[in-house]
Amino acid sequence: MDKIFLHGLKADTLIGVYEWERQQPQTLLIDLDIGLPPRRADDDDIGSTVHYGEVCEAVRNSLETRRFHLLETLAEHIASLILNDFPAAWVKVRLVKPGILPDVREVGVEIERGQPVE
């Protein structure tokens, strides 16, 4: 199982159940593990893999224009984005909303999704 990973991606978005949470963008920390498509060992072409720079740009751009109440919904959105727009076999999305609760370092959610089986 080959994968690429992006850990600690920072992205700002409006998110939260409560109105006060959605008054200004919050910075989320995003970890992504993305299953790579099969390829030859000597294939050195970026087009044969998942371009992690483009993944970062796509995630950030999407979060600038979308609003969410739940981290779970946001995680599903990111997973769908990656599976639909990149040649990913599967994706694990971990979202962290730091500092949202007193005396709790991290609050978050983690999901794993794969391409549908044909």
What radius of gyration do the chain's Cα atoms show?
15
pLDDT of 45 higher than 80: no
Q: Which residues are designated catalytic?
A: 97
Of 85, 66, 77, nearest to 113 (Cα)? 77
What is the spatial distance between Cα 110 and Cα 76, in angstroms, rounded to a whole number?
10
Question: What's the structural domain count of the chain?
Answer: 1
pLDDT tens for 59-83 read 999 998 889 999 999 999 999 999 9
Average pLDDT over residues 30-43: 86
Report yes or no: 71 and 23 within 8 Å, Cβ to Cβ: no
**Domain residues for 106?**
3-114
What is the model's pTM? 0.91
**What CATH number does the domain containing 56 carry?**
3.30.1130.10
pLDDT of 118 higher than 80: no
Question: What percentage of the chain carries pLDDT values higher than 90?
Answer: 63
